Structures are given as structure tokens and as C-alpha cells.
Amino acid sequence: MPLRFRTLALLAALSATLCAASAVAQSDPQASASAQHLTVSLLVPPHDLYPGQSFAAGLDFKLEQGWHVYWTNAGDSGEPPTIDWKLPAGITAGPMQFPAPTRLPLGPLMDFGYENEVVFPIPMQVAPDTHSAHGPANLAAHVGWLVCREVCIPGKADLSLTRTLLSAAPAAPSVDAAGQSLIAQFQAKLPQPLPASDSAAFSTTPQGFILDVRTNSSPSSAQFFPLDQTVVANAAPQPAHSISGGVQLALTKDENIQGTPHQLNGVLELPTGAAYIIHATPGATTSAPPLSPSEEGGIVGAAALAFLGGILLNLMPCVFPVLFIKGLALVQSSQQERHRLRAHGWVYTLGILVSFWVVVAVLLGLRAAGRQLGWGFQFQSPVFLALMAMLLFFLGLALAGQFEIGLSLTSAGGSLAQKHGYAGSFFTGVLAMVVATPCTAPFMGAAIGYALSHSAWVSFVVFTALALGLAIPYLLLAYFPGWSRVLPKPGAWMEILKQAVSVPIFATVIWLVWVYLRVAGTGLALIGLLAAFLLLAIAGWFLGRWPARIGPGIVATVFILGAVALPVSIIRAMPPPHVETAVVFRNGSNVQIGAPAPGAWQPFTPTALDQARAHGHAVFVDFTASWCLSCQVNERLILDRADVEQKLHDSGVTLLRADWTNQDPDITRALAALGRSGVPTYAIYPADPSAPPQVLPAVLTPGIVLNALNSLPKPDRQSAALARPISQ
């Protein structure tokens, strides 16, 4: 191809020399070239050039959807386009100018560039003393670029066009008006020097830089694009807030930067679209609150939601067993003095707090390690499930009366040492948190999604609010013993209640075993877990038959260790659950193999979603998991209801089920894109790919689903025609 272009250019130049008049073509075909995924054109609007003239030329890239070319600092990968001119004597081209780019996230990386179309303006000059060579002037340029989507393709082209060089400015200049206005449109996006009245300064923090830019406005957001590479961590968020007469951004530094830069160079883009070239110097920056009012409002809102969600968690079915335990502990402690009650309340709160903090630390650590996880992910680990099932089974045995646990989770009676009592309260808190996790109830989903998409300390605040919400009912009871006086006096009935509590505990064990089966599979893994229960039962018998004896205690410990080791070692020996097993499970459970009937649920993949929308279908995605109780409830009671099912069928939406029982990065990403981090999540993606998806509440009613389907834009004529015979 390049060869042919060169030949063409040569021919053009030749014919231009031979026949000057006809060479001034209105549109020169060789001025543009089609390459893979883009068309590149040279724009030189004036048809006539003359001495002393200055004008803007442009290099125009029209890109296929999804493909991009790069800014002058390409970011973490990629390279900017280059241009190398061959111009007649007297005509000079200035450097290519780069309009303000957009951020192009790519997994953990961040590139800076342009999608759809970009024109790089180029200032051109005709020297005032260019009187010697009049006639056709051939403007040629060798252009190179890198165009990327998932993959990168380098390209190059030789472009050229011919203009007429006059001896003086023409009376009536003729220009390519379309080209000129296109260039002007992108010139407007060029970053401007900061006005003399404005200033930019930065200070250094351990994490990076605080950048203060004084403009005459106080925008609450802005984006900084570093001109220098390896100074700022490109992908890091740039929290911004307005300061008096300007805007402040917190930038994260490149980990490998040595010392402090003398200048922070970059482009600052304001929400208005105005962009400024910044050369910030070290100086004092405003020590304003670290958050903008809007973001602060966001945090307060998210924390409030998390707090409410935490309170609601107390009512969730998966926390019920723990509620029983807590209630029991409360009854036992109602005879205690007020300050001890309070102390227990606080220790219980601390137990919840500490375990939530551990989780947030682990979550952030795993996220840092590059794994995207969502809430409830621990229920995707068979080891965790097995250990949870065993813990609750053992607890159930104790409650049923097989033995007494020294460090009783059911907390302190008056006879137990105070230390043990506090430990009991603490671990009751831990247990409440652990068991509460699968209930990503309405408030939790949004709050945690918010937290995980923000910085570490925001996550910390939200999780703390969640923990306090979970703890507050018990804490209040501890603080107002008047309320607990309503509770009955301790007596023989307590033993009966304790034994009765073992029933919901065993029910929870059954649920956990069911989830475990879904993740680890039947066969050896199941036998291993059941055998572990047997070992625990034997250990329990030793503890109950010979309480507080060293020998039987050791034997029991050995049995417990054996019980823990058995399923864990079997799981370790098994191949880790792969995507394949998830697919098999999905096919086996909810989805038919082979061509699905119209209106049937199909497994979710990003491709399936895109294809359906590309074919003009709206898509309803049910994000679910077998360990998620509220998901099952929604599916059985709402989505599978005859009228809802009929409506889903008639409205012609494509139904996709995203089964998150096992970890699936595609689904995690799709959830993240919706701002959610867990299931249940229900989303309706309109057929128009540019329209945002609608996320339905986590607790569905038939009305919610029907209204959402009714509010969808009417399908295009083709699919409407298809849908009509069905609905009639």
C-alpha cells in the first residue's frame, strides 16, 4: 500500500508540474488514506498560499468504533502519532498540536487518547520572502501512528496534496470550508496557556501531590493529564474539589519516582471542556478538607445507607441463628450489673467492627493483588464453606447439649470468668458478621459497591458504618437495661431455649452444605465434609463425657484437627474450580443446553449482552448465585411468576442469567460497571448501546419488573414486527 501511495504522490506531483491549473484539485484523493480501523487525512484548507501567510493545517483521524489513537503522553501504553513533512522551500510546519485527550482505562492500565475522530491542528507558515517559486506547491507528509483496541496495529502513510503558491495574497481567498471548520472545532479543544492572572502550585505528600490551580472559577471537578511520563500514576483516581478561586486535585505519584519534581507539567481539563497547560511549581497549597462537599455528601450518604443496611441485616434469615445466640446471651446477662452489660455490648460491637475491618483489609489486599472480587466472594471458596459448616455443626452439638464449650459462644453465665464472657461476646460479634455476609440486602449492595470503587479509607468508613449498624440493636439493649427487663427471668427454660436454638443452627449447616456442593461438587468432597462432621461428633462426645480433663481434651482436639484437615486436604487435592465447571453448573441448573427457546434464560457473557443489544434487543440480566438466599427468593417468587414470565417473554427482551456461584471475572466486571459488588442485582440494558442500564431494586416485586419493562423504549420496527404475533 505505501508503495502505491508513493507512486500516486509522485504521479500527482508530476502532473501538477506539467499542468499547474488542473493540479489545484478541490479534494485530492491522495490527501487521505484508509488503513486498518481508521482513515487518516491531511487537511490544508486554503487553496492558495502566499508569502507571509499563516494558517492551520490538520491531521485528521477517523476511527472505527472502539479504536483509539494516542495523546502526546500516551499513558501506560501506546504511542502518539508522528508526522514528518516534506515541504517546498519557504513553507514550514510547526509541531503537531494535541487537543485535550480522554482517559482510556484498560484493565489496570490507563491510557490517554482519542476515540471516534480527532484532528491534530498544525500551524503552517509561508515565509514573507517566498517570491521565487510560484506555481504548484506539493505539501507531503509521512505519517505514522499506533491504533489500538484490544490489540495495537502500527500504521503509516505518505500523504500529499498540492496547493498553488501565489506571489501575493489573493483578493478573494478560496478555502475548503468544511476542512477549516473541522480544524477549528479541534483547535477549540487545544489546551491554552494558563492566563497570567492564574497560577498553579503543588505540594508533595507521601502518596503524591496536591495540585492547586487558581482559575477565575471554582469548579468542583477537573482532570489532570500529565505531560511528563513516570511522574504521576496514570490510572490512579484524582479526587478533586473546589477551593476559593480554583480547584484542588490529589494526584498519586509514580511509585518509582526519585525525589521531588521541579515542576508538575500537564493539562488540566475543567468540566466546561476548557483545558489549560499547567506548569505547576512547588509552593503552598490550600489545606482544605480532603473532600469536596459533593463527595463528602456521597460518603455520608453511603455510610448512612450502610448503617441502615447493617441494622436490616439483623433481620435477615442468614443472621437468624446468631440473633438467637445473641438473644440467649442477653437473657443470661440480664441479671448482670449495668456496667457489665454495657461492656459486653461494646465488646460485641468491637467483635463485629474488628471482623469487618479484617474483611476490608483482606478485600483491599486482594483487590491490590489485581483480583476483582465482590461481596460474598468468600462463599465461592469451598474451604471457607467447609470450615463454616463445621463450625456451625460443632456449635449446634454444643447447643443441643452434647457438651459445654469452655469459651462458649453463647456467652457468659455468672459462673464463668469475666474474661471468658468478654471473649464470648467478642466472638458472637465475629460470628454475626461472618454469617451476615451473604445477605447483600438492598442497602448493602449499593453501599459496598460505592466503597469498593473508592479509596481505601472510604471503604473503611462504609464498612465501619455497616458494622455499627449490625451491632447497634444489641448495643442499645445493653445500654437500656429497662428494655431487657421485659425479657423473662433466667431459669430452666434457658436450657430448653438453648437446645431449641441448635435447630436453626443445623438448618444453617444444611444450607452451607448445599452451597458447598455447588462449589466443590459431589463425590469425594461431600464424603470428606460428612466424615468431618462425624469426627466432630466424636470430639464432642469426648468433651461431653469427660469435661475439663486434659487427656480427653487432647483426644478431642486431635479429632477436631482431623475433621478440619480432611475436607481441606481433599479440596486442595482437587483441581481448583475453573470457569469450565461454572459453565457446566450453569448449564446443568438453570439453562438448557443447545438452542434456547425464545424467552428462556441464557447464560450471561459480555458477548451475549453486546450481541443482543446489537440486534436491537433490550437485555434483562439476573445476577444471581446459589448461595444467595434473596436471589433464590426473587427468582422463585417474582421472576418465575406466570404473569412476570409472560411479560418478560412478550416484551422481547433477551434474558441472561449471570451465575456468580463460582468466581467469574466477567460477571464481577459487569457488576462493577453497574456500581454493584454483589448479588442479587437485576439490570435492564436498553437496546440502544449508548443508553445506560437500569438497575432494579434488590428486593423485587412483580410491579417493579412489569413497570421497568413497560418503560423500555419501543423496540425498533423489525423486532416489533417479530414481537406482535406473540403478544396477540
Partner 1 sequence: MAHPRRTLSVLAAALAFTLAAFAVRVGTQAPDFTGTDSHGQSHTLSQYHGQYVVLEWTNNGCPFTRKHYESGNMQALQKKWTSRGVIWLTILSSAPGQQGYMTASDQNAYMAREHADPTAAILDPTGAIGHLYDAKTTPDMVVIDPSGKIIYEGAIDDHATTDPADIPHSKNYVNEALDEAMAGQPVAVAYTRSYGCSVKYSGAE
**Which residues are near partner 1 by CB under 8 A?**
76-79, 103, 105-111, 146, 148-154, 229-230, 233-237, 252, 255-256, 258, 364, 367-370, 372, 452-456, 665, 669, 672-675, 689-693
Gyration radius of the chain over CA positions: 34
Cis peptide before 680 (omega within 30 of 0): yes
As measured in angstroms, the least distance from the Cβ of 250 to partner 1 is 10
DSSP 3-state percent helix, strand, coil across the chain (nearest 5): 45, 20, 35
Closest CA to 30 of 66, 6, 51: 6
How far apart are the C-alpha atoms of 18 and 14, rounded to whole Å?
6
List Cβ neighbours of 710 (8 Å cut-off, separation of 6 or more). none
Contact assessment for residue 439 and residue 313, using Cβ atoms and an 8 Å cutoff: yes
Q: Which residue's CB is nearer to partner 1, number 218 or number 372?
A: 372
Angle between the N-to-C axes of helices 338-368 and 418-436, in degrees from 0 to 180, rounded to the nearest 10: 40
Task: Quote the least distance from Cβ 220 to partner 1, whole Å.
Answer: 16
CA distance 57 to 46: 9
Instruction: Report residue 305: phi and psi, to 5°.
Output: -60, -45
In terms of CB distance, is 291 or 555 closer to partner 1? Answer: 291
Burial of 505 (C-beta count, 10 Å sphere; 0-12/13-18/19+): buried
Q: For residue 611, give the 3-state DSSP assignment.
A: helix
Q: How far is the CB of 256 from partner 1 (least distance, A)?
A: 4
| Residue 16 cell numbers, joined | 501538477
What's the min distance (Å) between Cβ of 18 and partner 1?
A: 35
Q: Which is nearer to partner 1, 235 or 712 (CB)?
A: 235
Under 8 Å between Cβ of 375 and 679 = no
The least CB distance from residue 725 to partner 1, in Å, is 32
Task: Specify the residue, 349 or 662, whose C-beta has the smaller distance to partner 1.
Answer: 662
Minimum Å gap between C-beta 379 and partner 1 is 21
Whole-Å CA distances, 691 to 430, 496, 556, 652, 684: 43, 58, 61, 18, 11
The residue among 109 and 637 lying less far from partner 1, judged by its C-beta, is 109
Cβ atoms within 10 Å, residue 145 = 23
For the bound state, the minimum distance from the C-beta of residue 311 to partner 1, rounded and expressed in Å, comes to 27
What is the nearest approach in angstroms of partner 1 to the Cβ of residue 545? 47
73 vs 160, which CB is nearer to partner 1? 73
Characterize 102-141 residue by residue with b for buried, 16 or more Cβ atoms within 10 angstroms of its Cβ, and e for exposed: bbbebeeebbbbbbeebbbbbebbbeeebeeebebbbbbb
Alpha carbon distance 451, 310 (integer Å): 15
CB of 381 to partner 1, least distance (A): 16
Taking the complex as a whole, how short is the minimal distance between the CB of residue 11 and partner 1, in angstroms? Answer: 27
Least Å from the CB of residue 518 to partner 1: 23
Order the strands of the 619-624 sheet from edge to edge. Answer: 602-603, 654-659, 619-624, 681-685, 694-696
Do 466 and 314 form a contact (C-beta atoms < 8 A)? no
Tell the smallest beta-carbon distance from residue 453 to partner 1 (Å): 5
* DSSP string over 247-289: EEEEEEBPTT--S--S-EEEEEE-TTS-EEEEEEEE-------
Residue 112 CB, shortest distance to partner 1, in Å, is 12
Going by DSSP bridges, is the β-strand pair 654-659/619-624 parallel, antiparallel, or unpaired? Answer: parallel
Is 409:420 a contact under the CB 8 Å cutoff? no
Q: How far apart are CA 637 and CA 642, in angstroms?
A: 10
Q: Of 178, 218, 215, which is closest to residue 43 (Cα–Cα)?
A: 178
Residue 134 grid cell: 510560484
